[in-house]
A and B are shown apart, each in its own frame.
Chain A
Amino acid sequence: MIESPSSNPLLTGASTVPSAQPCTLVIFGGSGDLSRRKLLPAVYNLALDGVLPTNFAVVGFAKNDFSDEAYRSFARDGIAHFSRRPLDEAHWPEFERSLFFVPGSFDDPACYEALKRRLAEVEPQFGIPGNRVFYLSIPPSLIGTCVEHLHKAGLINPEGRGPFSRIIVEKPVGRDLTSARQINAKILDVFDEKQVYRIDHYLGKETVQSLLVVRFGNSIFEPLWNQKYIDHVQITVAEEEGVGTRAGYYEEAGALRDMVQNHILQLLCVTAMEPPWSMEADVVRDHKLGVLNCLRPITGRDVDKSVVRAQYGPGFHNGEGVPGYRREIGVDPNSTTETYVALKLFVDNWRWAGVPFYIRTGKRMPKRASEIAVQFKAVPEILFNANPSTPLEPNVLALRIQPDEGLSLKIATKRPGPKLRIWPVRMDFRYDTTYGDQTPEAYERLLLDVMAGDATLFMRRDAVEISWKWIQNILDAWDHSGTRWLPEYPAGTWGPVEADRMIQSDDREWRTL
């Protein structure tokens, strides 16, 4: 082996997980809900797993007037409540020593100078060579301002020159095509695309990553993964909760923007993409982009046929009465924001020609459940499937994203006994029972990837803008329709009858989860 000053042979090959590099994680909106519930617990679990770099610190940056001590207390509370691992008192003092807070307004240049001074104090203390990850856990409308001030304060190094500067942008990037383009342009005025990590935490989930392995690591699925053998695909992302405390954001967003434009289209991409020729970030992302490019636009009157939107009305959640959406705190009583959307869409390429993808997502559904279900075509109507009144149930490969991450395959079997009776059985694989150990949270994997400089699971600018372009057709049609009332579904049910009718008109049914 040749000694090289630019590499570290002691870390090369030392671990199968990405090797995170020494850095400071600066969280804009560091005192917010995402920080408390997800980001700080994720960092804590990475520390417990021993995969954080030794030279590492977190600096929260937000309007609150927190001291370092108050921020540590805030972090402790979040970790105690939301970490997948219990808080370890023995480890806590060392962990909290690496947490700092800088109070400040995102639009005040002086606050960025204060942040800069604080980083200059913290980094030498921890032996951090100036590498920085800026996590923008803030509304999309503030992204441009923050990026501009970061640049003006000299907090960002150009790509490839000196210590790295990376930025993580939370979804949704914008609220329509125009704003997404504006935000991306502002970010790319300052950062190189290689420094930008547009996060969609769904892509950090094990099942989503596992789907690529299921498809391309097994010889039995890929030959069937096309219009010859697949009848249709259903993607469901169901939320049990109502709008809660997010009415301000949600009224502006709605289910289409909040879930479909990012999470669900990304799930669709992983399901429908062609085999990438390597797992390099840009190769995988190019192949996902290929799917988005093939999405058949839904425009004009087709929107009414292929898209159903609705709001939850009053109903029950876990046996308790809950109000309808328009009665929620902070929601306009005449709101036309959709809390549920179902779509039928097509990927117009050779592989998927004529195969419908049914998508649904909503709030206040009976349970929290997300899955991708691939339903195969029925066997010919002869032999075991000869009786039209009792057709055989089709094979379904279902990938559960949450909860109980795993996959199942439904197949037909003969029930034991003298008579020929066919019974569908489910072969089930669950991560927790099979692999035993706890699955890391998506944010853990994604934060580690950013520190290691691996962008495979993050969205590129072109993918964001193409997905917005496709969504924009639907948004435009809705805007032109002048709707003042949306169909309702009772809280605690699987959606409006209109969505049932949409899929039933194709002689298909929504899956019961």
Chain B
Amino acid sequence: MSSIPLGPKEITLPSQPVDLAAIEHALSKLWKQPDPQAPEHALLTRACMSNLIVFCTNQDQADLITQELDEIVLFHPSRVLLLIGDTHKSPPRIEAFVSALCHLAGNHGQVCSEHVTISATGNAVQRLPSTARSLLIGDLPTSLWWVSHEAPSLGGDLFSELEEMADQVVYSSLGWTEPARDIIATARWAVEAEATDTLIADLAWRRLKPWRSLIGQSLDPAAVPRALETITEVAIEYGQRGLPQTWLLLGWLASRLGWQPIGVAHRRGDEWRWTFQALDRTVEARTRLIPDGDPEVRSVAVSWKVEKATATMTVASHGPGKLGMCYQGVDAQPRLLVAPNQSRATLIGLRLKNRERDPIFDTALQVARHLAESSSSA
């Protein structure tokens, strides 16, 4: 994976208010008007590899997303439709702005992406999908980035209409307010989405990639023979918003290693326990909330037993962008690894480039659903 080159941003054509019916015309004009700040020879090239619809529910979120868009379109030039739907605000109103996001491209002038913001309040929020539909560029893939504190599929008709336009829906389960409800709803929706060929992507799952890679390598038979088929215990610690992510990680381990969840979850304070049935043994899994600090998964300890000797491999976060790995009971040095940049914008950019279904996520999500249901009934 590559990180984003943070090239100097030369200009951003200023945001201009426009009539809804004149958005496309205003976008065309952007490419004709000379920029007074740019040198005469500066070339503006419109680049567009896909449509990106972003939906959020308030201006604070929109401001944050707008800052991230620079980085996203640098990674994957797109026509961006930022939809702000604030149903709690009145009176009903809808307004649009257009601008361009530009970056220097070596000696070849500037490469720009179009950015349309459509802000709606009250009942006017219902008009957002129809407005967006007319602005999509045909023949290009469309992604919907759903920014919300609940699962996308709980977004009602508005989500359904926007989802219909998209080949892919991107969301983050970090920060979901009701993790069990949201994971269960998402897992059900994922099954339907597979039938309609809509891709779904959870940024929280994507953030686990370096963890999964490091765990996989550290338990590789070439490094620690027989560890994978003798695992007896998994312990995961997570931060305040990391429960869905923790379930996904546990779901991944279980689905990849062929463990079936058995019985119900047991809770003791901030700790949950599950039991899985492997081929010839049971595997105990514990998850524990660490209320302070980093909100995501913080550490994963996997223990195994070969001929009465127990060993443990622990992967833990060592601050931003760093993961540490150490063994107990295995003669090998601890390692500290750099995990590539995991900003939200980077992850969105990567996801826009990727148009492949992730079957490993699909199966992990279904196990996570089982864990969530088990927790709900505990």
Contacts and interface: CB of A to CB of B under 8 A. Distances in A.
Interface of A: 1-17, 21-22, 47-51, 53-55, 85, 88, 90-91, 94, 124-127, 129, 131, 163, 404, 430, 432-438, 440
A47 B332 contact: no
Contact of B76 (A10, A90, A436): A436
Contacts of A430: 105, 108
A169 to B, nearest CB: 25
Given A1-B257, A14-B212, A50-B340, A437 B2 contact: yes
B332 A436 contact: no
A9 B364 CA distance: 13
Contacts of A436: 4-5, 73-77, 349
Nearest to A85: B3
A450 B143 CA distance: 36
B291 interface: no
Interface of B: 1-5, 45, 47, 49, 73-77, 105-106, 108, 111, 209-210, 212-226, 228-229, 253, 255-258, 278-279, 321-322, 325, 330-333, 335-340, 349, 353, 356, 359-360
A11 B4 CA distance: 25
A438 B47 CA distance: 17
Contacts of B359: 13
A228 B338 CA distance: 53
B85 to A, nearest CB: 29
Given A5-B228, A435-B76, A440 B2 contact: yes
A437 B77 contact: no
Nearest to A52: B337
A55 B223 CA distance: 8
The interface residues of chain A, by DSSP majority, are classed as loop
Contacts of A94: 335-338
B258 A55 contact: no
B5 A54 contact: no
Contact of A1 (B4, B256, B325): B256
Given A14-B360, A22-B222, A2 B258 contact: yes
B222 A3 contact: no
A438 B5 CA distance: 7
A235 to B, nearest CB: 24
A82 B322 CA distance: 24
A10 B337 contact: no
A129 B217 CA distance: 12
Nearest to B45: A433
A127 B213 contact: no
A198 B97 CA distance: 56
Contact of B220 (A1, A22, A49): A22
Contact of A14 (B105, B216, B279): B216
Contacts of A7: 221
Given A90-B322, A437-B4, 19 more contacts: A1-B256, A5-B221, A7-B221, A9-B258, A10-B220, A10-B228, A11-B216, A48-B340, A51-B1, A55-B220, A55-B332, A90-B321, A90-B338, A94-B335, A125-B332, A127-B224, A430-B108, A433-B77, A437-B349
Give the most central of B2, B76, B221, B225: most A CB within 10 Å: B2
Contacts of A11: 213, 216-217, 220
B77 A1 contact: no
A48 B338 contact: yes
Contacts of A54: 214, 217-218, 223, 325, 335, 337
Contacts of A22: 217, 220, 222-223
